[in-house]
């Protein structure tokens, strides 16, 4: 508990008083978490939350779960699961995640659909229900608020090696509370990936959260062996390094990541994905 | 030996006509070190406040311009002087040679995937594909015969009178004797060196502006003298230097003197290329050693032993009233002895140093040990400030370190861990990898305890001393194709103790992105963006505890150079800087310039001209730009305030043995009536510098 208080104090001191909220635009899935959070061009089951256009890529049923512990503090953890189902020329997906503890938590439900609109051009949309819960120590005073918003995105191939992704989450900054005009920030992301070689990928992304300065994210993925990946990345505002890896085994992929903040330390991240 | 054979080959293989063409070609190149060298030096200068002498680097590159390196006999260490190449590229070149058996011509370098077009162009200046002769031990006699002598004489002066040169009445002078420079505003510089395959010697002498010459405080004439003799590969001796020398070992965590590159835009610069012992050819009056140094290969062990005994400039204080107990409050590094108090501090304290380095190779693994101990004549007691609480004090220090390098397919791991005698540690570890062709990645982690005291070290770091710092650097270079190259790095660091002007633990970050575009030999362009965030005390008066605030600096620049004709080259730059400091108005600055370089191949003269316009809100928003200068001088002035600067550099080759340079540079300010402050103050809004240099080579 003392550690939590200390970290909260540090965060407040650092001026990022919303840093630990779930709606801060951090990506889902251990792969992008290791690649500097750059996820707008990626295509896997986590696209439901990252950029629904990515759902169109792989027409197979798949599922995934993830766990993140921000700054290594259990109370700041996020847990989630996602499921993807082929439907027509695209994929349907549903996802759910929770951040926080019983006294304060944020839940996120998403239903998404993504498909190829034109050759090499994919689009997707998700409807997101964001629920925030707060109660006092005795549990008598509680506050709950849910809002519905959406995310829309596209992905397309510029050349054989280069892809572009763009998504916007909650474009109208849905209001959370009238108190101090609190709202969920709109987030737009623009990214690029470049396949320098068959087993080497470079990603770059710019993220604009309406509340904060522009964040630049970059990441690398290197396939050491067929089933083994090494990843690294960096993001700015606040500055963090990320690194991690992935192992594929019998249809299961395990991805892990660590983000390192200079003052706040490490945030571990892990996810499993299974393709049916 | 190599030299003499090459001379022979040249004489045999070339007609007189060809020979003369070659000579002018070589001449032309003297002042035209590859752009990358300028770039790296410019980068380096941006991160430093004091002037650095780049002689050693220029020395080596110039030597190779005149005596190109035979790629077929070159050792790995020989190639390391080409700072524009990284380790993996060097290894790939050597691998190519092994694969082909022999490199027949330089076009074959295009087979090395990791070399870009620009790298090959750069390299072509310094290497050739020669025969596969075995290296043989040299003979002293031959070496003496085939060497080259170089004499440089330089004169410099600022035309406007500075405050310190103004006459001061007798009473004022006796009241405050330090309000005046002792000597004339002239600067004299004399350098003589001889170099052949196996033997080198040289003398440097310098009188800085304001120092006396052959009178008063300087009865010996020049204020600074330096000299050395070095023999190499003669009989059982591998290398011996008597006189002034520099020593570089491993990653520099324990021992590094002479030129050192910090962060620069290259991935390559992360791993330092230790040069072992080398003669001190620079005019830097601090940081070198004076004594004897020997290098010897004993079986598989490469061994270096060195001893030095020098006098250092220091500020001395006495504690008790009788003046029996003296101690040092600070060591001075500027080398200026132009006021009474500075002269008093000159050579005030003796320093002795004894050390050694041994390394050996087991297959792909290289292991080394460095150790040294030094002793000052008096105790060092820096005035108590919180930020320097963990700095070196006392009069003795012992430092040792262990270093390694391991080569695993396309990865090179390296690192060094050092221990300083006050029971503190520093360590530095990293790797460079080429995951796929055209991509280089480097990662370097450093961890220096706050009381780690490597006083003779100079390893990678944000602070100038390797102390009180933790950080992780990552660099990435992508060669999209032979024309386009991206270079990016990030560096995050934290200081767990205070720093100078930072009254609390702090952290920071730095990012850089650079794109180079070389569509043809005719022209090339580069764009660069840099962002730096650090914490520094806020400018608030009358506070007891100052809280550091965030300072963000951004720099952007665009550079285009265009080779219009064989003899005319144009270079343009636009640069912009922006600084944002907590509690202050944002400041910005810009700089625009045009360079015109005229260098006809068949004429004995060459001209460089620049016109630059600049306007910055403050000194903090200053911008740096490399300037062409007389050979061996490197000018990277900072442009700040508002005004314009022009310079003209003329080089004239009087004969085959005599070259002549003249440079006139003038900065004129439009937003102020005086320049500088203190003794250096000029009561006019302009500063004009004249520089004259003659080189005699035979």
| B250-297 residue pLDDT tens | 999 999 987 776 666 566 668 887 888 989 888 888 889 999 999 999
Residues 6+ apart with CB under 8 A from B63: B195
DSSP 8-class letter at B428: E
Encode pLDDT of B295-319 as tens digits: 999 988 999 999 999 999 998 888 7
Instruction: Read off the tokens for A55.
Output: 């759902």
Lowest mean per-residue pLDDT among A158-172, B3-17, B248-262: B3-17
Residues 6+ apart with CB under 8 A from B161: B185, B682, B683
| Domain boundaries along the sequence of chain B | 1-137, 538-698
Encode pLDDT of B102-154 as tens digits: 888 888 888 887 787 777 877 887 888 877 765 555 566 666 777 888 899 99
Residues 6+ apart with CB under 8 A from A131: A106, A107, A108, A109, A144, A145, A146, A147
**B34 confidence band (pLDDT: 50, 70, 90):** low
Q: How far, CA to CA in Å, does B641 sit from each of B557, B580, B666?
A: 18, 17, 14
In the predicted model, what is the mean pLDDT of residues B199-228? 90
| Test mutation, B430, B435, B438, B512, chain A, max A CBs within 10 A | B435
Among B435, B437, B490, whose Cβ lies nearest the Cβ of A222? Answer: B435
Write down the pLDDT at residue B694: 95
* Nearest Cα to Cα of residue A256 among A233, A226, A231, A239: A231
Among B441, B494, B511, whose Cβ lies nearest the Cβ of A262? Answer: B494
Q: Confirm if A106 and A82 have CB atoms less than 8 A apart.
A: no
| Test mutation, B443, B487, B492, chain A, max A CBs within 10 A | B492
**A40 confidence band (pLDDT: 50, 70, 90):** very high
Q: Is the pLDDT confidence value at B351 over 90?
A: yes
Please give the interface size between A and B, counted as residue pairs whose CB atoms are below 8 Å apart.
43
In the predicted model, what is the mean pLDDT of residues B678-694? 92
Q: Is the pLDDT confidence value at B30 over 70?
A: no
Please judge whether A202 and B492 are an interchain contact, meaning their C-beta atoms are less than 8 angstroms apart.
no
Q: Confirm if B413 and B405 have CB atoms less than 8 A apart.
A: yes
Write down the pLDDT at residue B450: 93
Write down the pLDDT at residue A2: 52
Among B436, B472, B507, whose Cβ lies nearest the Cβ of A197? Answer: B436
Encode pLDDT of B504-534 as tens digits: 999 999 999 989 898 887 888 989 999 999 9
**Interchain contact B511–A (C-beta under 8 A):** yes
Write down the pLDDT at residue A19: 39
| Domain boundaries along the sequence of chain A | 2-275
DSSP 8-class letter at B161: P
Please judge whether B436 and A202 are an interchain contact, meaning their C-beta atoms are less than 8 angstroms apart.
no
Average pLDDT, chain B: 84
In the predicted model, what is the mean pLDDT of residues B60-85? 78
**Interchain contact A239–B (C-beta under 8 A):** yes
Lowest mean per-residue pLDDT among B290-294, B440-444, B542-546: B542-546
**B481 confidence band (pLDDT: 50, 70, 90):** confident
Instruction: Read off the tokens for B609.
Output: 């001209």
Residues 6+ apart with CB under 8 A from A56: A43, A90, A91, A114, A115, A116, A122, A123, A124, A155
| Test mutation, A14, A196, A237, A260, chain B, max B CBs within 10 A | A196
- Residue scoring higher pLDDT (B31 or B241): B241
Give the right CATH number for B538-698 from 2.40.50.140, 2.60.40.1840, 3.30.200.210, 2.40.160.10. Answer: 2.40.160.10
- Give strand ranges (E) for B334-483: 349-362, 365-380, 394-408, 411-420, 424-433, 439-448, 469-479
First-residue to last-residue Cα distance in chain B: 19
Lowest mean per-residue pLDDT among A150-159, B17-26, B60-69, B350-359: B17-26
- Residue scoring higher pLDDT (B280 or B18): B280
Q: Nearest 5°: phi and psi at B109?
A: -60, -20
**B40 confidence band (pLDDT: 50, 70, 90):** low
In the predicted model, what is the mean pLDDT of residues B412-436? 93
Write down the pLDDT at residue A221: 95
Write down the pLDDT at residue B264: 62
Q: Is the pLDDT confidence value at B20 over 70?
A: no
Alpha helices in B537-606 (DSSP H): none
Please judge whether A196 and B438 are an interchain contact, meaning their C-beta atoms are less than 8 angstroms apart.
yes
Write down the pLDDT at residue A77: 92
Write down the pLDDT at residue B382: 82
Question: What is the CATH code of the structural domain delimited by A2-275?
Answer: 2.40.160.60
Residue of chain B minimizing CA distance to A222: B435
Q: Is the pLDDT confidence value at B39 over 70?
A: no
Classify strands B301-312 and A215-225 as parallel, antiparallel or unpaired. unpaired
Q: Is the pLDDT confidence value at B8 over 50?
A: no
Write down the pLDDT at residue B262: 64
Encode pLDDT of A214-265 as tens digits: 999 999 999 988 889 999 999 998 899 999 999 998 889 999 999 999 889 9
d(CA B410, CA B90) in angstroms, rounded, equals 12
């Amino acid at each position: 508990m003392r550690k939590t208080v200390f970290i909260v104090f540090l965060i407040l001191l650092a001026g990022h008083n919303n840093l630990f909220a779930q709606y801060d635009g951090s990506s889902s899935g251990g792969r992008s978490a290791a690649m500097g959070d750059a996820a707008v061009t990626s295509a896997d089951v986590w696209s439901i939350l990252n950029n629904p256009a990515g759902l169109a890529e792989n027409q197979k049923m798949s599922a995934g779960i993830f766990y993140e512990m921000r700054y290594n503090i259990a109370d700041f953890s996020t847990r989630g699961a996602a499921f993807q189902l082929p439907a027509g020329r695209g994929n349907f997906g549903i996802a759910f995640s929770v951040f926080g503890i019983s006294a304060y938590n944020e839940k996120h439900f998403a239903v998404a659909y993504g498909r190829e609109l034109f050759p090499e051009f994919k689009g997707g949309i998700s409807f997101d229900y964001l629920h925030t819960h707060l109660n006092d120590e005795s549990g008598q005073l509680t506050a709950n608020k849910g809002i519905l918003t959406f995310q829309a995105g596209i992905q397309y191939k510029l050349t054989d090696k280069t892809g572009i992704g763009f998504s916007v989450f909650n474009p109208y900054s849905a209001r959370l509370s009238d108190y101090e005009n609190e709202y969920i920030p709109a987030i737009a992301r623009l990214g690029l990936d470049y396949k320098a070689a068959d087993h080497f990928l470079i990603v770059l992304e710019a993220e604009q959260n309406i509340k904060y300065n522009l964040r630049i994210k970059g990441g690398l993925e290197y396939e050491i062996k067929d089933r083994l990946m090494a990843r690294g990345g960096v993001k700015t505002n606040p500055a963090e390094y990320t690194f991690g890896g992935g192992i594929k085994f019998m249809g299961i992929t395990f991805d892990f990541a660590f983000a390192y903040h200079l003052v706040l330390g490490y945030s571990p991240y892990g996810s499993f994905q299974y393709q049916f | 030996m190599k030299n003499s054979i090459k001379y022979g080959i040249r004489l045999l293989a070339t007609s007189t006509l060809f020979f003369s063409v070659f000579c002018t070609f070589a001449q032309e190149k003297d002042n035209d070190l590859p752009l990358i060298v300028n770039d790296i030096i410019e980068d380096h200068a941006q991160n430093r406040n004091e002037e650095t002498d780049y002689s050693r680097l220029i020395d080596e590159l110039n030597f190779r311009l005149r005596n190109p390196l035979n790629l077929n006999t070159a050792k790995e260490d020989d190639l390391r002087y080409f700072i524009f190449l990284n380790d993996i590229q060097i290894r790939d070149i050597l691998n190519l040679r092994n694969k082909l058996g022999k490199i027949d011509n330089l076009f074959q370098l295009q087979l090395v995937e990791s070399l870009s077009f620009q790298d090959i162009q750069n390299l072509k200046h310094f290497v050739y594909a020669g025969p596969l002769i075995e290296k043989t031990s040299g003979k002293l006699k031959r070496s003496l015969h085939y060497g080259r002598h170089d004499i440089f004489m330089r004169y410099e002066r600022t035309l406007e009178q500075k405050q310190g040169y103004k006459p001061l009445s007798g009473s004022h002078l006796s009241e405050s004797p330090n309000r005046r420079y002792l000597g004339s505003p002239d600067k004299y510089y004399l350098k003589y060196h001889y170099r052949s395959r196996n033997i080198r010697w040289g003398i440097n002498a310098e009188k800085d502006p304001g120092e006396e010459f052959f009178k008063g405080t300087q009865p010996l004439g020049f204020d600074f003298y330096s000299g050395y003799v070095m023999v190499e590969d003669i009989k059982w001796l591998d290398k011996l230097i008597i006189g002034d020398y520099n020593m570089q070992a491993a990653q520099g965590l324990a021992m590094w003197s002479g030129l050192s590159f910090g962060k620069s835009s290259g991935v390559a610069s992360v791993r330092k290329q230790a040069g072992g012992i080398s003669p001190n050819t620079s005019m830097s009056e601090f940081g070198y050693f004076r004594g004897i140094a020997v290098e010897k290969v004993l079986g598989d062990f490469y061994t270096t032993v060195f001893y030095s005994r020098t006098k250092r400039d220091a500020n001395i204080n006495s504690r008790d009233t009788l003046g029996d107990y003296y101690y040092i409050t600070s060591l001075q590094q500027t080398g200026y002895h132009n006021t009474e108090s500075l002269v008093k501090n000159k050579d005030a304290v003796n320093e002795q140093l004894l050390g050694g380095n041994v390394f050996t190779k087991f297959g792909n693994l290289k292991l080394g040990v460095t150790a040294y101990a030094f002793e000052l004549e008096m105790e060092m007691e820096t005035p108590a400030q919180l930020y320097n609480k963990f700095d070196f004090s006392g009069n003795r220090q012992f430092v040792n370190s262990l270093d390694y390098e391991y080569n695993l397919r396309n990865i090179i791991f390296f690192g060094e861990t050092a221990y300083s005698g006050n029971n503190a540690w520093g360590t530095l570890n990293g790797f460079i990898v080429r995951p796929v062709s055209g991509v280089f990645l480097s990662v370097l982690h450093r961890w220096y305890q706050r009381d780690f005291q490597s006083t003779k070290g100079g390893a990678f770091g944000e602070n100038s001393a390797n102390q009180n710092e933790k950080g992780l650097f990552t660099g990435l270079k992508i060669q999209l194709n032979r024309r386009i190259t991206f270079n990016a790095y990030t560096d995050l660091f934290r200081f767990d103790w205070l720093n100078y002007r930072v009254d609390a633990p702090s952290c920071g970050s730095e990012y850089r992105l650079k794109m180079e575009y070389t569509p043809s030999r005719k022209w090339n362009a580069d764009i660069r963006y840099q962002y730096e965030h650090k914490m520094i005390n806020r400018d608030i008066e009358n506070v007891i505890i100052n809280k550091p605030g965030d300072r963000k600096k951004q720099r952007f620049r665009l550079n285009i150079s265009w080779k219009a004709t064989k003899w005319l080259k144009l270079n343009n730059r636009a640069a912009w800087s922006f600084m944002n400091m907590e509690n202050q108005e944002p400041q910005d600055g810009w700089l625009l310039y045009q360079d015109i370089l005229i260098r006809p191949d068949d004429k004995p003269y060459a001209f460089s001209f620049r016109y630059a316009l600049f306007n910055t809100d403050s000194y903090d928003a200053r911008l740096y730009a490399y300037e062409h200068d007389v050979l061996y001088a490197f000018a990277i002035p900072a442009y700040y305030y508002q005004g314009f600067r022009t310079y003209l550099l003329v080089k004239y080759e009087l004969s085959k043995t005599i070259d002549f340079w003249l440079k006139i540079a003038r900065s004129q300010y439009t937003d102020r009536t005086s320049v500088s402050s203190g003794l250096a103050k000029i009561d006019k809004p302009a500063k004009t510098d004249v520089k004259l240099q003659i080189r005699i080579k035979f």
